[in-house]
Chain A
Amino acid sequence: MAAALSAARSGAQVCLIEARPRLGGTVAFSLIHTLGGLYDSAGVLLNAGLAEELVVALLQADSSVRKRRMGRTWVLSVCPDIYQAVVQGWVESDRRVTVLTETRVVGVVRQSDTIRALELSSPAGEFRLPTKAVIDATGTAEVVNLVSSSLVQNEDRRAAGGLIFRMRGTPPDAVAFPKGLGILRAIRDAVVEGSLPRQCANVWVDTGARSDEVYIKLPVPIPANWREQQEPAEVTRDALEMQAAVVEFLRRMPEFAQASVSRTGELGVRDGGQVRGEYLLTADDVRCGAMFADAACRCTWPIESWDPEEGVSLEYLQDGSYYEIPLRSLKVRGVRNLWAVEKCLSADRYAQASARVVGSCWSMGEAVGR
Chain B
Amino acid sequence: MPRANRARNRGTMMTPIEIEDRVRQFVLATFLVDTPPEAFQNSDDLFLLLDSLQILRLVIHLESTFGVKVQQQELTADNLSSVQKVAAFMVRKIGDRRLARVAK
> CB distance B53 to A182 under 8 Å?
no
> CB distance B53 to A312 under 8 Å?
yes
Task: Describe B's contact surface by its main secondary structure.
Answer: helix
A181 CB contact (under 8 Å) in B34, B48, B49, B56: B56
Residues of A within 8 A of B34 (CB): 318
> CB distance A178 to B55 under 8 Å?
yes
A72 CB contact (under 8 Å) in B48, B72, B76: B48
Cα-based distance from A312 to B53 in the complex (angstroms): 9
> CB distance B56 to A71 under 8 Å?
no
Q: Tell whether B88 is near chain A: CB-to-CB under 8 Å.
A: no
Residues of B within 8 A of A69 (CB): 48
Q: Tell whether B27 is near chain A: CB-to-CB under 8 Å.
A: no
Cα-based distance from A318 to B72 in the complex (angstroms): 33
> CB distance B51 to A182 under 8 Å?
no
Q: Tell whether B19 is near chain A: CB-to-CB under 8 Å.
A: no
How does the 8 Å CB contact mask read for B80-95 relative to A, with 1 for contact and 0 for none? 1000000000000000
> CB distance A181 to B51 under 8 Å?
no
> CB distance A72 to B51 under 8 Å?
yes
Residue in chain B with minimal CB distance to A178: B75
How does the 8 Å CB contact mask read for A174-188 relative to B, with 1 for contact and 0 for none? 000111111011100
CB-defined A-B contacts under 8 Å, sample of 6:
A71-B52, A72-B48, A177-B52, A182-B75, A185-B56, A185-B59
Cα-based distance from A70 to B52 in the complex (angstroms): 8
> CB distance B56 to A72 under 8 Å?
no
Residues of A within 8 A of B52 (CB): 70-71, 177-178, 180-181
Residues 8-61 of B at the A interface (beta carbon under 8 Å): 34, 47-56, 59-60
Between A72, A178, A312, the greatest number of chain B beta carbons within 10 A of the residue's beta carbon is seen for: A178
Given contacts A184-B56, A185-B56, contact A179 B50 (CB under 8 A): no
Residues 63-89 of A at the B interface (beta carbon under 8 Å): 69-73
Q: Tell whether B77 is near chain A: CB-to-CB under 8 Å.
A: yes
Q: Tell whether A314 is near chain B: CB-to-CB under 8 Å.
A: yes
Cα-based distance from A69 to B50 in the complex (angstroms): 11
> CB distance A314 to B53 under 8 Å?
yes
Task: Kindly provide the distance from the CB of A39 to the nearest chain B CB, expressed in whole angstroms.
Answer: 14
Task: Describe A's contact surface by its main secondary structure.
Answer: mixed
Residues of B within 8 A of A312 (CB): 53
Cα-based distance from A57 to B13 in the complex (angstroms): 58
Residue in chain B with minimal CB distance to A182: B72
Residues of B within 8 A of A313 (CB): 53
> CB distance A71 to B76 under 8 Å?
no
Cα-based distance from A33 to B78 in the complex (angstroms): 28
Cα-based distance from A182 to B73 in the complex (angstroms): 8
Residues of B within 8 A of A184 (CB): 56
Given contacts A181-B56, A185-B59, contact A71 B75 (CB under 8 A): no
Residues of B within 8 A of A179 (CB): 72, 75-76
Cα-based distance from A185 to B60 in the complex (angstroms): 9
Residues of A within 8 A of B56 (CB): 181, 184-185
Given contacts A184-B56, A185-B56, A185-B59, contact A178 B77 (CB under 8 A): yes
Residue in chain A with minimal CB distance to B79: A178
Cα-based distance from A74 to B31 in the complex (angstroms): 19
> What are the 4 A-B residue pairs with the smallest beta carbon separation, nearest first?
A71-B51, A182-B72, A178-B75, A181-B56
Task: Kindly provide the distance from the CB of B101 to the nearest chain A CB, expressed in whole angstroms.
Answer: 24
Task: Kindly provide the distance from the CB of A287 to the nearest chain B CB, expressed in whole angstroms.
Answer: 11
Cα-based distance from A73 to B49 in the complex (angstroms): 10
Given A179-B76, A181-B56, A184-B56: 12 more A-B contacts, CB < 8 Å: A69-B48, A70-B51, A71-B50, A72-B50, A73-B51, A177-B52, A182-B72, A185-B59, A185-B60, A186-B72, A312-B53, A314-B53
Cα-based distance from A70 to B53 in the complex (angstroms): 11
